[in-house]
């Protein structure tokens, strides 16, 4: 069974994500599409009784999928604890599509959504979903490092993704060049991690000593597919904002030509990188003067960089097109407890165990 639960606020892009990732023959449960099929004349905000019938139809579809163990993609903005338990028991993969409140509102405005949608967005961010724990039974308590995301192809390497305006243009010789940020510094992502300036200094010096030239560029971390190797970087440097990379796209393949086209048209605008952690430590949260709580985070201080990717969906939340956010599922005055695997001061300089790559939680952020 391959069950994906796609979570996120209204207008976040959940339907678009499912349309891009669901395979032919996999069931898609989308409330808005059900409401339209039942007679709603707009794509959102169904009126009663269509709304009630659509909710009933959606729940019946979900129950049938769980009973039969069928492959499916279920869009569920904010499941209840009981619903999350049922999904977890079905070994579902949870996909969080969250571009942040600012960008979500912008997208809702562009879609000309009703006032009801904006109220639903506010409610979602006021009470975000409590995502499942990402720990695995075979994970030793003394292990250190950030939370992990399952990579396509079962890669055990860690990945982080950032939405960034990637600039692309034709250059001499018919090649397409691009530049953008593969990582940004000093913001807490949904994995509870913060990358600090200097984290890439050693890997750039040792692995890519010629000003960051020669880092492999892939499509969406598809490192097992030779045709998804898009090219190489021509430069990679740390600046005050993050890891700034430039590179060239190989257009001798169909996918290379398509990605170059998407970049030039602005239809994709996100980058990612695959890495191991060489040094990191947990930083405790604290109460602010106004009584609110500043959450703790895992500080990534030295990273081993393997590749950068151009991606359709992002994970990191502070970018040129989205505001900073952190969805930790905590009450305002509740202090998060460091996970056992954050207790050591540093992370072993080894590739994480393959078992870590089998975790069922994917946090994907636009």
Cα–Cα distance for residue pair 3/228, rounded to 1 Å: 25
Task: Note if the pTM is more than 0.85.
Answer: no
Q: Are 116 and 10 in contact (CB under 8 A)?
A: no
Cα–Cα distance for residue pair 314/12, rounded to 1 Å: 12
pLDDT tens for 249-289 read 988 888 888 988 888 887 887 888 888 888 988 888 788 88
Segments of 69-225 assigned E as strands: 72-75, 93-97, 158-163, 167-170, 176-184, 193-195, 216-219
pLDDT tens for 150-189 read 333 333 467 776 666 677 777 655 678 888 888 889 887 7
Cα–Cα distance for residue pair 24/184, rounded to 1 Å: 35
Of 13-17, 182-186, 195-199, 284-288, the range with the lowest mean pLDDT is 284-288
Q: Cis (ω within 30 of 0) for the bond into 341? A: no
| Tokens describing residue 144 | 């250190």
Q: Are 205 and 198 in contact (CB under 8 A)?
A: no
pLDDT tens for 307-336 read 998 887 544 433 322 222 222 333 334 443
Greatest alpha-carbon span in the chain: 64
Cα–Cα distance for residue pair 59/53, rounded to 1 Å: 10
């Amino acid at each position: 069974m391959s069950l994906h639960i796609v979570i996120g606020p209204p207008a976040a892009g959940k339907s678009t994500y499912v349309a891009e990732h669901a395979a032919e023959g996999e069931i898609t449960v989308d409330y808005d599409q059900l409401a339209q099929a039942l007679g709603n004349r707009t794509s959102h905000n169904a009126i009663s009784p269509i709304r009630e019938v659509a909710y009933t139809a959606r729940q019946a579809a979900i129950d049938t999928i769980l009973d039969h163990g069928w492959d499916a993609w279920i869009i569920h903005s904010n499941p209840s604890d009981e619903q999350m338990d049922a999904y977890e028991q079905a070994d579902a993969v949870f996909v969080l599509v969250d571009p942040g409140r600012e960008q979500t509102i912008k997208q809702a405005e562009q879609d000309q959504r009703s006032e009801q949608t904006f109220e639903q967005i506010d409610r979602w961010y006021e009470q975000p979903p409590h995502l499942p724990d990402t720990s695995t039974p075979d994970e030793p308590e003394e292990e250190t490092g950030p939370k992990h995301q399952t990579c396509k192809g079962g890669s055990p390497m860690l990945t982080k993704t950032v939405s960034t305006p990637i600039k692309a243009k034709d250059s001499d010789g018919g090649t397409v060049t691009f530049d953008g940020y593969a990582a940004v510094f000093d913001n807490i992502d949904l994995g509870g991690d913060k990358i600090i300036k200097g984290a890439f200094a050693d890997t750039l010096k040792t692995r890519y000593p010629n000003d960051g030239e020669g880092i492999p560029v892939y499509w969406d971390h598809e490192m097992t597919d030779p045709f998804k190797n898009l090219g190489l970087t021509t430069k990679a440097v740390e600046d005050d904002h993050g890891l700034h990379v430039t590179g060239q796209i190989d257009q001798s393949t169909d996918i290379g030509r398509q990605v170059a086209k998407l970049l030039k048209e602005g239809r994709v605008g996100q980058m990612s990188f695959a890495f191991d952690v060489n040094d990191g430590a947990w930083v405790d949260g604290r109460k602010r003067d106004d009584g609110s709580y500043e959450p703790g985070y895992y500080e990534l201080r030295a990273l081993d960089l393997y590749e950068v990717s151009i991606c359709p969906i992002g994970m990191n939340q502070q970018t040129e097109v989205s505001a900073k956010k952190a969805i930790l599922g905590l009450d305002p005055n509740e202090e998060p407890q460091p996970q056992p695997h954050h207790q050591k001061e540093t992370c072993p300089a080894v590739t994480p165990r393959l078992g870590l790559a089998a975790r069922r939680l994917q946090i994907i952020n636009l």
